[in-house]
């Protein structure tokens, strides 16, 4: 049996890096994609994944990635983790450049990736029974919040891309999976969103007992891809127990209420 191979984007840190490690641990070959070649080189050395540096906002880079993947082996799964948030401004105060960046890295990059690699997924499904497109979005795609309008819109756009793909690929053995995490303790994501303010970044998680980790999300990614080929996890929404909803977050120890 041919070893299954995945292309994982956003692989230089956070959920993307954890997904590479989780898939390698369950027997996958992995092409780890991100902009930062130095971090990818370390990941390659520690996991045996194949590092490929690319900027997914650059159409030429995406085409080059697709050609590299085509020449080096089949592609059974594409795991799109790359994305990001910039700023917490209210809609009326937001910088259009920040919103443009968020739309580009979360939505347009995903569309470029699908367009470039879908032919290879179809070829792999012909030989291997099925293939997978998996998108890591966010609970921000489901519920708006003040100061999140740009990220809400971008992640909702990525989620709609996945939903449309599932309809467009109906009748083909290609699963389309969406994983939508809530609060995940990935300091680099928050630090970038808050313009490098480390104090403000840590306050986001202050007092929250056991927020999700990148490894938690990666475990679900690996589960979805390793599930039997006829099983599709359309949408998995995952949050820490302390976060009952996008707007309802417990800060402080979790403990049962006393009777009476």
Question: Cβ(221)–Cβ(233) under 8 Å?
Answer: no
The contacts of residue 196 (CB under 8 Å, 6+ apart) are none
Q: Is 151 designated active site?
A: yes
Q: What share of the chain is helix, strand, coil (3-state, %, to 5)?
A: 50, 20, 35
Which residue in the list 52, 145, 151, 205 is annotated as catalytic?
151
Contact 119, 225 (CB under 8 A): no
159/139 Cα distance (integer angstroms) = 10
Cβ–Cβ < 8 Å for 43, 20: yes
- Report the C-alpha gap between 216 and 175 in whole angstroms: 21
CA–CA distance, 233 with 215 (Å, rounded to integer): 19
What does the block give as tokens for 6? 């995945």
For every residue of 78-137, DSSP letters joined together read EEE----------GGG--HHHHHHHHIIIIIHHHHHHHHHHHHHHHHHHHHS-EEEEEE-
DSSP H or E run through 60 = helix 59-72
Q: Kindly list the catalytic residues.
A: 151
């Amino acid at each position: 049996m041919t070893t299954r191979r995945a292309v994982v984007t956003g692989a230089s840190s956070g959920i993307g890096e954890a997904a590479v490690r989780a898939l390698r641990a369950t027997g996958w070959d992995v092409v780890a994609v991100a902009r930062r070649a130095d971090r990818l080189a370390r990941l390659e050395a520690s996991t045996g994944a194949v590092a490929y540096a690319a900027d997914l906002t650059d159409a030429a880079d995406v085409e080059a990635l697709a050609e590299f993947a085509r020449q080096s082996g089949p592609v059974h799964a594409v795991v799109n983790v790359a994305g990001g948030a910039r700023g917490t401004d209210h809609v009326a105060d937001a910088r259009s450049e920040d919103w443009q960046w968020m739309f580009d890295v979360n939505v347009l990059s995903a569309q470029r990736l699908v367009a470039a690699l879908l032919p290879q997924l179809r070829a792999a499904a012909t030989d291997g029974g099925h293939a997978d497109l998996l998108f890591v979005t966010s609970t921000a795609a489901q519920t708006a919040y003040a100061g999140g309008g740009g990220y809400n819109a971008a992640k909702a756009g990525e989620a709609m891309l996945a939903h449309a793909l599932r309809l467009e690929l109906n009748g083909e053995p290609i699963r389309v999976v969406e994983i939508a995490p809530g609060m995940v303790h990935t300091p680099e994501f928050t630090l970038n969103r808050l313009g490098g303010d480390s104090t403000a970044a840590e306050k986001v998680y202050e007092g929250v007992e056991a927020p999700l980790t990148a490894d938690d999300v990666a475990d679900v990614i690996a589960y979805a891809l390793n599930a039997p080929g006829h099983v599709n996890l359309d949408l998995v929404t995952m949050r820490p127990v302390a976060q009952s909803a996008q707007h309802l977050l417990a800060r402080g120890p979790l403990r049962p209420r006393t009777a009476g």
